[in-house]
Chains A and B, each alone.
Chain A
């Protein structure tokens, strides 16, 4: 009540200038100050009256948002003719203009050609209302099914994991369990109380709580089934299991087990060179990442080493000359990039640490070709900027190395295959970037001088890339956004092809694109109130408001990031959100009929929860060139190698020594022999920066 008391009621009036402007717009030029004064008072009063009436309609409409319909109804109540007109689909911002000493905010009212409206194809018929039943509670316990909210929301998992010091009082745990009638609710209650108490007398006894991860019988069974299916031989079963991991909301209690399962599994299978199992495990990681209800940060210390192992390990399979371990490396590299994107923050510095790890072993002359391939793939997946600053710089050297293997005397077949793969990898990733940083005449000679041995081949690839881009731009003007967009598109469109897991990752082919725009504005699945839709709409509205003036946000960003208000974080925040918009437009479609493809979920995770972390990346990479003052992207390429390296080094000094320790660990992991990859000591390194 006290808060309410402080609530101030202000009697705001419209400024008299508004009256003048409105009068002028209707053709009345001379309006005395007095008239304006009484007009504003009257108008303000009436508007307030209307607003209060409209609120009634909102309440009775059982909504939280006031709509224009409410205002129409309120007008009707007052016997005023309601406003007629087309509803604007998108948000119409106030425009601002000034001149002649007057400032003006106005709506841009475009003249609409009636024939245009008549000729536009009818919008798709909206889905009809339907009724769906599910159990919200069964004898007082809320079942953990996708229709219900996750038993422990992400925020709560985060609180739990980032609040290391709690006071444990004897009997408290039991109390919490005894209460466990409404599993979710009771748990929350218990936690809430714990928190309060720890705030009160937390200073006395500081202990890391001994959390017992006891699983119920059902959970144990589930865990057993899932893990068996994931690494078993039946592909259909595996798909189902992965689907369950990616969507079920109640998995957070089993997360530590899964995490350990994966990390141990990788350790063992790397030694045994069991490629298939490694692939299955990586797919589990992907599924875990896709689950929007899991707070994975706590388990990255186990997952990252496993993933990195799969990228850079010297040998992943029994017959390196035949088996396609390259695909696994690619897949894992993409996973790594996604981890960086989702979880990298200024405190844990995952991205810079990973970058450093990759770079270091790549620079080493003795690194075998397999590891070399992994490093490059890992770096390349991190985005155009990384490619530009790190890979293209070394094209010449790398080209030389490849040449010695390919053209020189045959040393070993395996080396040759390796070199071959590295070459095509480099070409694949560098071509789009080079296409962007170099201007049009693609001269073989110039390329040769700039990039050495790989130059001519790169040149043909660049030409191809350009042609492809131009063609797609013609097809659908919106596609350009997704095509020119470096990271996300690559991740989506290629993952199914290379990972040899076509059954689970449905190909969101861009052919379906043109029909999307209409569908996305509403829940994607008719059958199920699934969270992807929720997340998506949340994201799209801010981006809609902030970037409506930019028809092609992505282009501006990728070509000339400096031009759009460099360093301020809000402007940069716009960037990722606007990027995600088109891709989701592309992606929500496949989920409509089946609702089972994990890829949309995946992107929702990226766009919503990791919005801030991806911002970080943009900052670290882009503000640096700004600082050096060189505006041309071509010339900056040399200069901008340093900033990133610098960033890494500062980040190493800033956090405590454990961080560097853990980076060391990662390098250890990256070595092929898995026997010594003990990562457990770094257990808490990621969480020790929590408050308190």
Chain B
């Protein structure tokens, strides 16, 4: 099975690059000061973008109109998936669409061109079948692939036949082949439901759902509720299964074995499913063992194709601009070997010795336009460097102290926490739609004076910045009001002038921390926005939400620059790469995707989590990624190779917070189970450098060494940990709301 060079996962995603490529052309040359990567509300991106979201949007009750009707019909047309059957069906679907919209001529012409006269009967049959769901022709056409009906009573036989074959297969193949069971089970079931054999479907489901792996249970639970054809319309999970192929990675030997079996038995039903709904990524070499399969499985649509992770990723850090340091700091700086020649590197990297001058893995400095440094930024950078010299060197023998900020009287309402990089401010997002900002240093929060007062100030004076502040407003915390629903994400800008918040009301808001007012409300998601984050260089930010897409924005445009579409379920968390050229998104479909900001492509798909992902963090050197999910496990990834490199087990509940220490030696994790744990990442990444074999094949053998890597576990008093931050001197700050239940 030739892996077609198509955009990674879903056919529905196919249009995604196109809107992205629209704006791409322009941003590169434009200089930064007014970086306008042309997100002018030109109709083309917006229109083309729509289809990508359609799975989510078509089920919105209000939008059953024509516009969204189109894309899903086209969707099956996109994958050039060889066989005649789907081709014909897409054509039929298009015809149906044309017919419905009274494009008579177009229909005629298409009919002629496609030579479809002979299949008129079929189309009529399909039409009839579709007639009971006339209201939503789009869905029915998407689903129409299920119409090839077999004898319902035989389905169980098919399944048991396959199961029997797998059980009797050679041990070497057994593990690989058994991954086939789940998708086949799902599709057989959906076919039964679609063809309205409710009782058989229910029986089939109950007999065999116990065979499936535990991590599929969330999806199975959704499917279990489906017992009628009508339910399939508008069910997201069903659409996911329909519109995307389930990816399996199987060795050539196993695949031959399977093929032979299916052909011998003339088991067309299963063969059809394998052909239409599965993508079997065949590789040469030894079949994988059960453990090897287990670590990477769990995604809603199977594993990632190997092709999907082949693109080169520039994970290195950008060169820091040269800043003249005040002389008196030279000495201190000299002690620090890495900071010596270049006065740079706020994130000094002791992990790999390679990051010396110019990281070979770093992207070109101007790969994406970045805002120019302001004077205040330079002052800040100098501060960072000064602080860095006083940083505690952490290690298994020197664990950081943890200062815990407890939110009292929050009544379970704390939903998001963020710290500024210099640890001077804490922002909390609350379920009562408020955002609150605390100053945790003696410096109080002040807002700028009113316009009339400002006009009186002498603008030439030295301390003008001090003078514009209104002393009367000084207090320890400020409340920001404006959202219309729980605030699920907050993020400070690197210069501490702005704060972003994302909310259930579908907006992302930008707040000024000078005036403590809302500056912009970025609309676009329409559904709850689960997370948002500023780029480490400011200006850009990313948001992701229930509409299954992540959007890249810049603060001065009210429309997104990029829409990253491809996840099969909610985008639950979004993070920027330290070099700002990539963003990573975690989703409820249990996959993590890495996207290239430059062209909007998905460059990594990481599978292995068994539950929705709720926390992500890059290591300071940009090479590794840690992710935490509802299953309580933390996974470590090598971004360069797109490989799973470690698994940290120990938490018993969702991991909501992850953070690397400033030098990357320690990973701190905070969880719903009221603990903060610290992990030795130096050890975890130790042996990785040389392993070429797994790089080539994607075969992963994870050592089960969580206990050795665990450096400490600190229990709070009934306070779930939802925010973590390392200060510049490597003191760990943690935050959570005391929950007196």
Contacts and interface: CB of A to CB of B under 8 A. Distances in A.
A538 B718 CA distance: 13
Contacts of B226: 45
Nearest to B430: A129
B214 interface: yes
A49 B714 contact: no
Interface in A641-690: none
B54 interface: no
Contacts of A138: 401
Interface string B621-641: 000000000100000000000
B13 interface: no
A136 B408 contact: no
B228 A4 contact: no
B406 A181 contact: no
Nearest to A64: B672
B22 interface: no
Interface string A530-544: 010110011000000
B408 A130 contact: yes
A130 B228 contact: no
Chain B's interface size range is 35 or more
Interface stretch (B205-213, B305-313, B369-377): B205-213
B712 A8 contact: no
Contacts of B403: 133-136
Contact of B399 (A44, A67, A134, A181): A181
Interface residues of A, number: 65
A1 B404 contact: no
B231 A45 contact: yes
A185 interface: yes
Contact of A56 (B440, B485, B570, B741): B570
Nearest to A44: B225
A529 B714 contact: no
B558 interface: no
A79 B62 contact: yes
Nearest to A536: B740
Nearest to B226: A45
Residue among A44, A131, A538 with the highest chain B CB neighbour number at 10 A: A131
Contact of B225 (A48, A149, A185): A48
Given A56-B570, A62-B720, A185-B712, A5 B210 contact: yes
A135 B401 contact: yes
B251 interface: no
Interface string A331-373: 0000000000000000000000000000000000000000000
Interface stretch (A140-148, A428-436, A482-490): A140-148
B408 A129 contact: yes
Given A60-B530, A73-B528, A79-B60, A130 B409 contact: yes
Contacts, number: 201
Given A11-B205, A11-B224, A132-B406, A62 B722 contact: yes
B405 A131 contact: yes
Contacts of B734: 136
B486 to A, nearest CB: 6
Contact of B227 (A11, A62, A134): A11
Describe B's contact surface by its main secondary structure.
mixed
A52 B738 contact: no
A63 B399 contact: no
B431 interface: yes
Contacts of B431: 61, 69
A137 B426 CA distance: 20
Contacts of A4: 214-215, 217
A149 B716 contact: yes
A319 interface: no
Nearest to A529: B738
A229 to B, nearest CB: 27
B402 A136 contact: yes
A9 B202 contact: no
B411 A135 contact: no
A79 B61 contact: yes
A531 B61 CA distance: 49
B293 interface: no
A73 B504 contact: yes
Given A133-B404, A139-B399, A62 B415 contact: yes
B549 interface: no
Nearest to A6: B210
Given A64-B672, A79-B60, A59 B654 contact: yes
Contacts of B221: 9, 48, 52
A128 interface: yes
A639 interface: no
Nearest to B222: A52
A217 interface: no
B681 interface: no
B52 interface: no
A11 B227 CA distance: 9
A134 B404 CA distance: 5
B572 interface: yes
A528 to B, nearest CB: 8
Contacts of B428: 129
A523 B401 contact: no
Contacts of A182: 712-714
B717 interface: yes
A418 to B, nearest CB: 49
Contacts of A102: none
Q: Which of B225, B504, B630, B737 has the most CB of A within 10 A?
A: B225
A1 B214 contact: yes
A65 interface: yes
Contacts of A49: 222, 225, 235
A148 B719 CA distance: 10
B408 A529 contact: yes
A523 B527 contact: no
A59 B630 contact: yes
B4 interface: no
B539 interface: no
A9 B224 contact: yes
A5 B213 CA distance: 6
B38 interface: no
Interface in B625-683: 630, 653-654, 656, 672, 676
A523 B738 contact: yes
B696 to A, nearest CB: 29
A62 B414 contact: yes
A127 to B, nearest CB: 4
A640 B217 CA distance: 59
A472 to B, nearest CB: 31
Contact of A132 (B206, B408, B415): B408
Contacts of B486: 57, 60-61, 69, 73
B423 to A, nearest CB: 12
A185 B712 CA distance: 7
Interface of B: 60-62, 202, 205-206, 209-210, 213-215, 217, 220-222, 224-228, 230-231, 235, 398-415, 426, 428, 430-431, 436, 438, 440, 477, 485-486, 488, 504, 527-528, 530, 546, 570, 572, 588, 612, 614, 630, 653-654, 656, 672, 676, 711-720, 722, 734, 737-738, 740-741
Interface of A: 1, 3-11, 41-42, 44-45, 48-49, 52, 56-57, 59-65, 67, 69, 73, 77-79, 126-140, 142, 147-149, 181-182, 184-185, 522-523, 526-527, 529, 531, 533-534, 537-538
Question: A-B pairs with the 7 shortest C-beta distances?
Answer: A4-B214, A140-B399, A136-B404, A136-B402, A48-B225, A137-B402, A127-B409
Given A5-B210, A126-B411, A127-B408, 19 more contacts: A9-B209, A56-B546, A57-B504, A61-B415, A73-B528, A77-B528, A79-B61, A126-B409, A129-B436, A130-B407, A133-B406, A135-B404, A136-B404, A139-B398, A142-B715, A147-B717, A181-B712, A529-B738, A537-B740
26 contacts: A1-B215, A44-B225, A52-B221, A62-B415, A63-B412, A67-B412, A73-B486, A77-B527, A126-B411, A127-B409, A129-B410, A131-B440, A132-B406, A133-B404, A133-B405, A135-B402, A136-B403, A139-B400, A142-B714, A142-B715, A149-B717, A523-B738, A523-B740, A529-B408, A533-B740, A537-B740
